[in-house]
Amino acid sequence: MIEGWRWYGGYDRISLSEIAQTGAVSIVTALHEIPYGQIWPRETIAKTRAQLQGAGFAWTVVESLPVHEAIKRGEGNLTEFFANYRQSMANLAAEGIKVICYNFMPLLDWTRTDLTAPVARGGTCLRFSAAKMAAFELYMVQRPNAEEDYCEQVLAEAKRWFEAATQPDLDRLTQSIMAGLPGAYDRYDPNGLREALLPYEGLDRAALRQNHKRFLEEVVPAAEDLGLKLAVHPDDPPRDLLGLPRIVSDADDINWILSAVESPSNGLTLCSGSLGANPKNDVPAIAERFAGKVHFAHLRNVAKDPDGSFEEAAHLGGDTDMPALLGVLLREDARRRREGRADDEIVFRPDHGHELLTDADRGAHPGYPLIGRMRGLAELRGVIAGLTAAGAVTA
């Protein structure tokens, strides 16, 4: 497995020279400045690749090449959007990219309600509070019928929180929920989000699935021709949100997507944190089932609450058995080497670390601190070394 690191380019407060000191050798990045639906020019890709190579890094995984919202909605004439996506893929392949991570979450990306929840022995983490999300939907966005998506306990807690909240509390909640949107894209206030939801009215699970299938039918053949692997990222959190369906939340969803268009290029980003936030998911078992289609891995851990809330745990803490998961991925890597597919070695990256020590002073992208992720990478590296030394992986 190859140690990677997420980097936000010109938007990142962490430098490539600092990342080099973590030991990571492969940068995972994207052209965040290019609006959704536009072609990624080859010359811009080449410039980024040269910058990374000059700093001593490989760049083989893009995270993410965004899917335009019109494609997710299945709205209008999509010919240009699909053509642009295929051209961007071709330009990336021409510059040595092997894997494209993407997601099919409508409107929002990963979503949290708290960006600086306290950790027991110091530092902070990302947290998703079901009650705060309910308060946001019910009282701030005022989404019709939002109460149907939450249990009585969460609704009561949401009402108590909202009634006690100050304006700074409400502003902080909005900012937290918007923080998952990458790069320089516009964020919404509650009124703006209410308006942004209107084009999605009537989009149910079946329709979103069919729109995803159409996307795969349009781009997977091109990926095969280009020698690229597409890797869908699971929903985060793995539940419907804001009345919008999410369709990459468990093993059945993943199986449907990978079967919708049968191809070695139609694969999975194994995100242990996203999948781990769903109580019914056994993440090592999911990894075992779909190991041959795992093209990229995000390794992090979460601790879940009974009401649907969760927070980012230490990489070796939380509810997912990380050594068991790493064992699955290491065995899959070994199998690929035995089959002469060493170029398919899985790039993984430590995901969503705690803010520790001086991380809080840096102002890095939420969830992507330097010290917290370096700790996570070191822990994962140690488990990998231990499993390998114990003979748990056949090379």
Domains and CATH numbers, the chain: 2-110+204-303+317-389 (3.20.20.150), 114-198 (no CATH)
At 325 the three-state DSSP class reads helix
Both tokens of 256, joined, read 């449907």
pLDDT digits (tens, 9 = 90+) for 68-95: 999 999 999 999 999 999 999 999 999 9
Percent of the chain with pLDDT over 70: 98
DSSP labels for 56-117?
T-EEEEEE--PPPHHHHHT-S--HHHHHHHHHHHHHHHHTT--EEEE---SS--S--SEEEE
Catalytic residue ranges: 233, 271, 298, 351-352, 368
Both tokens of 279, joined, read 């109580």
The 3-state DSSP composition of the chain as helix, strand, coil percent (nearest 5) reads 45, 15, 40
Place of tokens 């009974």: 306
Say what the pLDDT of residue 184 is. Answer: 47
Say what the pLDDT of residue 153 is. Answer: 97
Query: For the chain, which ranges sit under pLDDT 70?
Result: 181-186, 394-395
What b/e sequence results for 123-132 when a residue is b if at least 16 CB atoms lie within 10 Å of its CB, and e otherwise?
bbbbbbbbbb
Quick check: pTM over 0.85?
A: yes
- What does DSSP say about strands 310-313 and 124-128: parallel, antiparallel, or unpaired? antiparallel
Both tokens of 191, joined, read 């009124």
Say what the pLDDT of residue 186 is. Answer: 64
